[in-house]
Homo-oligomer: A and B are copies of this chain.
């Protein structure tokens, strides 16, 4: 391995001067910088991140805390976030939040991560508290747990859901069912509230038997839709917690021979690429997940550089995209 010492020897300076020169310290003369840079490129020197991390007390690695790596949704979070972090000179390491929060917090410290993005926070998680107590910078992504304030990047479902429901109700649906997300997630809770509030404006209430709750995964949508649609008097429309859930529901409908949107309308939330497939054509609520992921990366890096900056709460707007899974109920 080529070290700064090797570069120093070649450039005829001391090791600290190499360190300073390459980091563009103004206290080093231009001439020296030039020589050092030449020596560095001649040797193919690259600073050792481990050494630097040990020295400065923190690394350039940020963790992304996620529970369900197989979930399609996160692929579209990881990719842009990773790209943005790379652009900023940081690395992405994946962390799955296995049951206990303590391991995650310890993990962060022990491995010298400079900060973490929490993408699957539950409102009752102790992880944010732990991180705050240990002084680990973090940002909420998508979901939050506002008891512990921090930078956050979230979505405002209002506009999109309002327009979605305008379409659904406008088409004539009155018996509306829903497969909501977990109550202990801010996104699940918030979307449910908005749906109920807007429907209330139309004088529509969700029947208890038409409502399901479950995780944000395919299975929840699949099982939920089976339960909702298999009876003798199913709702004419099913609102889903997100697109992945909606995909589960669409497939359940297909299995049951229930036509979409002929027999039942289905709507999602997220507008994943899959949702625009010709085989799917899911009517859903869209927002800029890509931009959000990048912003989360930037916010975290900013936070790491300046731990006392005022927390920013970025909120992304939503819009309804009418495709082919919402239509008028059968007469």
Which A residues form the contact surface with B (CB < 8 A)? 1, 44, 46-51, 53-54, 59, 61, 69-72, 74-76, 78-79, 82-83, 86, 91-94, 96, 106, 109-112, 218, 247, 250-252, 254-255, 273-274, 277-280
CB <8 Å contact, B70 and A110: no
CB <8 Å contact, B70 and A112: no
Note all chain B residues with C-beta closer than 8 A to A79.
69-70
Partner of A111, one of B49, B54, B254, B274: B49
Note all chain B residues with C-beta closer than 8 A to A44.
106
Note all chain B residues with C-beta closer than 8 A to A51.
54
Note all chain B residues with C-beta closer than 8 A to A279.
250-251, 254, 279-280
CB <8 Å contact, A50 and B112: yes
Q: A50-B111, A109-B1 are in contact. Are A94 and B96 (CB under 8 A)?
A: no
Note all chain B residues with C-beta closer than 8 A to A112.
48-50
CB <8 Å contact, A111 and B93: no
Note all chain B residues with C-beta closer than 8 A to A254.
277-279
In the complex, 18 of the A-B residue pairs with CB atoms within 8 angstroms, ordered by the A residue number, are A1-B109, A47-B110, A50-B53, A50-B111, A50-B112, A54-B54, A69-B82, A70-B75, A70-B76, A71-B75, A78-B94, A83-B96, A86-B96, A92-B93, A92-B94, A254-B277, A254-B279, A279-B280
Partner of A48, one of B47, B96, B110, B252: B110
Note all chain B residues with C-beta closer than 8 A to A53.
50
CB <8 Å contact, B83 and A75: no
Note all chain B residues with C-beta closer than 8 A to A76.
70
What is the interface of chain A mostly: helix, strand, loop, or mixed? helix
CB <8 Å contact, B70 and A94: no
Task: For the complex, give the distance between the alpha carbons of A94 and B47 in Å.
Answer: 20
Name the distance in Å between A99's Cβ and chain B's nearest Cβ.
Answer: 13
Given A70-B273, A83-B96, A92-B94, 18 new contacts (CB under 8 A): A48-B112, A49-B110, A49-B111, A49-B112, A50-B54, A50-B59, A70-B76, A78-B94, A86-B96, A91-B93, A91-B111, A92-B93, A247-B277, A251-B278, A254-B277, A254-B278, A254-B279, A279-B279
CB <8 Å contact, B46 and A110: yes
Interface pairs A-B: 10 shortest CB-CB: A254-B278, A69-B79, A46-B110, A50-B112, A251-B278, A49-B111, A255-B278, A70-B79, A93-B93, A75-B75
Task: For the complex, give the distance between the alpha carbons of A72 and B61 in Å.
Answer: 25
Task: For the complex, give the distance between the alpha carbons of A250 and B74 in Å.
Answer: 24
